[in-house]
Amino acid sequence: MHLLSTASEAYPLVKTGGLADVVGALPAALAPHGVATTTLLPGYPAVLKAAGHAKPVHRWPKLLGGEARLLKAEVAGLDFLILDAPALYARDGGLYGDPTGIDWPDNWRRFAALARAAADLASGAVEDYTFDILHAHDWQAAMAPAYLRYAPDAVGATRAKTVVTVHNIAFQGRFDASVFAELDLPRAAFALDGVEYYGGVGFLKAGLEAADAITTVSPTYAEEILRPEFGMGLEGLIAARSARVSGIVNGIDPAVWSPARDPHLAQPFTARTLTRRRASKRAVEQAFALDAGDGPIFTVVSRLTWQKGMDVLAWSLDDLVAAGGRLALLGSGDAALESAFLQAAARHPGRIGVRIGYDEPLSHLLQGGADAILIPSRFEPCGLTQLYGLAYGCVPVVARTGGLADTVIDANDAALAAGVATGIVFDGVSYDALTRAIRRTAALYARPDVWTTLQRNGMRADFSWGRSGRRYADLYRSLIAA
């Protein structure tokens, strides 16, 4: 079975968050189930650089108004197609915005072009390419099934079945109605069951209408987005299509995230050799200028945003220190939150260390050296950092929402007695709930036997892609058979 997977980022070529980890890990997750994956990405400078030897395989004289080429490359054992359209992607700054963080004004064109290229590939309109399934991730790729739906049949080709995965329904790709005229779609597409969305154009909405199947990245989030507080305006559409919606939890890529062979740790370790974590803990203390101490080191590796509950965490830091904890935070995001954390670090030298920025190797060291990872998200479609924490003996302290609720087992008395607890789960993202969870974590940490059991339970749990890879493959097969 041939799969075309398309998204705006994929590890190891370009990453700003968990989407990249998942898109990068899918090919290996699917291969054992007879699925051969090709991943289509925009040709940002970083992608073109990583795929230096890419070879041109197709040319569009006009793709959303501009010339574009399709390049083929193999990187890190994965098959990529790269959409080389310099007018759209050859820019300094971020994937989605300029160096100051403001969205590129033509993002609709940048990602409509990606989706249009994917639809051409999936409809058989690009010579030498046929695919059984087109899998589009998030709003940046979601127009692909919509383009496919309105595309004419290519002679002798069968068009792919389509899946849209929602990694975060808060990001929908909404644009002014005026862009519709340039999207290269038939007039009929500007309709309630097409791309029209609250009077404008909705990229994710269009994909959710057109897709043969919809998935989200955890079963709990699949339920949550049926409610207005999580569905963000799309709850009605999700409910109407609920027979085609499923939640498939993300896995983690053992080639990238295994403490037994992680080059970024001071010393590798396993569940049996947990004392070897100490060397990485010392390295964390040094990197964040933390005093030595008996209490737990909490870590945060996150976008600093409202979704992630970082405002509530910022209020709770004096209590974290009062409970005997220390904090090593790595993240970037909202300027006000960045400065709140920097101020807390200034208030508590030796107890709170803050690194503003993005640092992949340091994120590994933190998982392998800190004691607990704080994830007080208001919503979390899946979340990957709690899974990395579980795999690395960095006990997750999480809000009960989305994928966090599906992957962490709270250390309540029953779970401790049954020997199945893996973390601390709290309800409602509030100052009270979070500070109580932090105190509870510190109390558990003070009981070394209990703590070690928590760590080992997490490390022995299975968060590989095994089951989820099979579920995606089964879904694809059911669509092909239908």
Write out the residues near ligand GLC by the rule CB under 6 A.
Answer: 17-19, 22, 167-168, 217, 250, 380-384, 403
**Long-range CB contact pairs, 284-290, < 8 A, 24+:** 284/328, 284/365, 284/366, 284/369, 284/370, 287/328, 287/353, 287/355, 287/362, 287/365, 288/328, 288/353, 288/354, 288/355, 289/349, 289/350, 289/353, 290/326, 290/328, 290/350, 290/351, 290/353
**For 453, which DSSP code?**
H
Q: How far is the CB of 422 from ligand ADP (least distance, A)?
A: 17
331 binds, among ligand ADP, ligand GLC, none (CB under 5 to 8 A by kind): ligand ADP
By CB under 6 A, name the one of 2, 33, 303, 456 that touches ligand ADP.
303
Nearer to ligand ADP, 196 or 406 (CB): 406
Q: How far is the CB of 335 from ligand GLC (least distance, A)?
A: 20
Contact segment (CB under 6 A) with ligand ADP among 66-74, 98-106, 378-386, 457-465 equals: 378-386
Q: How far is the CB of 384 from ligand ADP (least distance, A)?
A: 4
Q: How far is the CB of 378 from ligand GLC (least distance, A)?
A: 11
332 binds, among ligand GLC, ligand ADP, none (CB under 5 to 8 A by kind): ligand ADP
By CB under 6 A, name the one of 8, 140, 385, 441 that touches ligand ADP.
385
Q: How far is the CB of 377 from ligand ADP (least distance, A)?
A: 8
* Beta strands 245-247 and 174-175, pairing class: unpaired
- Measured CA to CA, the distance from residue 399 to residue 378 in angstroms comes to 7
Residue number, nearest CB to ligand GLC:
18
Site for ligand ADP contains 313 (CB under 6 A): no
Q: What is the arrangement of strands in the sheet containing 200-202, beginning at the earlier edge strand? A: 174-175, 200-202, 196-197
96 binds, among ligand ADP, ligand GLC, none (CB under 5 to 8 A by kind): none
By CB under 6 A, name the one of 8, 13, 18, 422 that touches ligand ADP.
18
Q: How far is the CB of 232 from ligand ADP (least distance, A)?
A: 15
Nearest to 287 by CA among 328, 344, 347: 328
Q: How far is the CB of 41 from ligand ADP (least distance, A)?
A: 17
By CB under 6 A, name the one of 21, 224, 253, 262 that touches ligand ADP.
21
344 binds, among ligand GLC, ligand ADP, none (CB under 5 to 8 A by kind): none
* Beta strands 174-175 and 200-202, pairing class: antiparallel
Which residues have CB under 8 Å from 143's CB, separation 6+?
A: 111, 112, 115, 116, 119, 136, 173, 183, 195, 203, 206, 207
- Measured CA to CA, the distance from residue 247 to residue 216 in angstroms comes to 5
- Measured CA to CA, the distance from residue 34 to residue 299 in angstroms comes to 39
Site for ligand ADP contains 363 (CB under 6 A): yes
Q: Are 137 and 208 spatial neighbours (Cβ–Cβ below 8 Å)? A: no
Nearer to ligand GLC, 144 or 398 (CB): 398
Site for ligand ADP contains 360 (CB under 6 A): yes
Structure tokens at 176: 């002014």
Nearer to ligand GLC, 251 or 296 (CB): 251
Site for ligand ADP contains 423 (CB under 6 A): no
* Beta strands 196-197 and 372-375, pairing class: unpaired
Contact flags string 314-333 toward ligand ADP, x per CB under 6 A: ----------------xxx-
Nearest to 454 by CA among 423, 409, 412, 415: 423
Contact flags string 241-280 toward ligand ADP, x per CB under 6 A: ----------------------------------------
Q: Count other C-beta atoms under 10 Å from residue 346's C-beta.
A: 10
- Measured CA to CA, the distance from residue 44 to residue 143 in angstroms comes to 19
251 binds, among ligand ADP, ligand GLC, none (CB under 5 to 8 A by kind): none
- Measured CA to CA, the distance from residue 158 to residue 124 in angstroms comes to 7
In 3-state terms, the chain is what percent helix, strand and coil (to 5)?
45, 20, 35
Structure tokens at 219: 């079963």
217 binds, among ligand ADP, ligand GLC, none (CB under 5 to 8 A by kind): ligand GLC
Phi-psi region of 60 (alpha: psi -120 to 50; beta: other; left: phi over 0): beta
Contact segment (CB under 6 A) with ligand ADP among 99-107, 266-274, 301-309, 413-421 equals: 301-309
Provide the residue type at 438 as one letter: I
Site of tokens 């008996």: 294
Q: How far is the CB of 238 from ligand GLC (least distance, A)?
A: 16
Q: How far is the CB of 301 from ligand ADP (least distance, A)?
A: 5
Binding-site ranges for ligand ADP (CB under 6 A): 17-19, 21, 301-303, 330-332, 358-360, 363, 382-385
